[in-house]
Amino acid sequence: MSKNKKSGPDEPAAGGDSAGISRGVSTLAVHGGEARRKHADAITDPIFCASTYTFPDTQSVIDFIEKKLPREEYGRYGNPTERVVERKLAALEGGEEALLFSSGMAAIVGLLMSKLDAGDEVVFFDECYHRSRQFCTQHLSRFGVTTRQVPACDYEAMQAAITPRTKLLISESPTNPHLSVVDLERFAAIGKKHGVETLIDATLGTPYNVRPIAAGVDYVLHSATKYLAGHNDLLAGVIVGSKEKIDPIRRLRGIMGAISSPHNVFLLVRGLKTFELRMQRHNENGLAVARFLAAHPRVAKVYYPGLECHPYHEVARRTMRGFGGLVTFLVKDADWRQTADVVDAVRIPRIAPSLGGVESLIEQPLVMSYFECTPQQREQYRIPDNMIRLACGIENTEDLIADLQQALTG
């Protein structure tokens, strides 16, 4: 080692590669955003259980304020391990900057609150996570923000809904639970044409299967609780975009305090190491289960973009690497209790909300998410009584199919 080289961790390079060489998904998931030499020469980044960070002298404080000294100040504004996972997520997404939140909902709330003022408008494709819709229609409305909803993937309707006050176009892709797939380039082009920023919630797609930023989308959002963390043991959310666009959201997060705990951040870094391997199995299981269900006599309809019969299959085939582990289907000629009997009969998936973990989960959207809605609201959101949402984990494919076979036969 050169005498002039300081001891201690190396500076992390963008994407974890000092030569700027393009790397594969697993290489980025394992090494992206990390210094090659870490504290105490450990191979993993440590957990920093610190609420505050000390300064050796007053000049150090001034240097920090003037951005001459990159370091932490207070736990609400950042954590060294959090910086690692943000760099890693930015590298995986192909974005310039990532910002971690305490949950996916905290992430979308943080973005909306930082970007919108009274009198502004947002336009949603209407197939979306019901809490995202609820925040906009019930809470942003109290601050004078208008939410306009148009049918999913109806680009003409989205353009028609844009007014001079529109500040953000929002969609999921694929959508939840119908798994409609947005033409990301077309979506981004609408925003650019009208000077409106665009946001894609790619939680179901993941950076393994879809790349919204490469398509020209301004912001990508993930509930990192799901596929990114992958083990059903933490809550986290992330927004990825340009540094210029992310900086004001980061400043608001420092005020809101919607941060992840040091242990959660450590678990997220650890979960990301196996991201590509897990996604390959999720994709395999999702497609195999969807094909099985599509051929089963007790199944009326399957929502899965990997199936040729899916209305957005061609868009999915063109824009996605794989189609994910989420499969939604309708039980033929079943009321809600008969549908619940199928859910109760499976032995491998657990009945629970969420998705993207190594364990398969199953739910009846009517009961789990829309039980308190009126029949008219459920019809509006296209949530029939006989709908089941299955989030395939990484179990053996043949075991999942055999389990579904016995549940549908009983």
8 A C-beta contact, residue 327 and residue 304: yes
Residue 162: predicted pLDDT:
98
Residue 79: predicted pLDDT:
95
8 A C-beta contact, residue 330 and residue 384: yes
∠ CA(267), CA(268), CA(274), 5° rounding?
A: 100
Query: How far apart (Å, rounded) are the C-alpha atoms in residues 294 and 115?
Result: 43
For the chain, helix (H) and strand (E) counts, in that order, are 16, 12
Which of helix, strand or coil describes residue 258?
coil
Q: Which residues contact 244 (CB under 8 A, 6 or more apart)?
A: none
Residue 410: predicted pLDDT:
73
Segments of the chain with pLDDT less than 70? 1-21
Please, what sign has the CA dihedral across residues 86, 89, 95, 100? negative
Residue 7: predicted pLDDT:
36
Ordered strands of the 219-223 beta sheet = 97-101, 237-241, 219-223, 197-201, 166-172, 121-125, 146-150
Q: What is the pTM for the complete model shown? A: 0.92
Which of helix, strand or coil describes residue 4?
coil
Q: Which residues contact 111 (CB under 8 A, 6 or more apart)?
A: 199, 219, 221, 239, 249
Query: How far apart (Å, rounded) are the C-alpha atoms in residues 359 and 375?
Result: 32
Query: How far apart (Å, rounded) are the C-alpha atoms in residues 275 and 294?
Result: 28
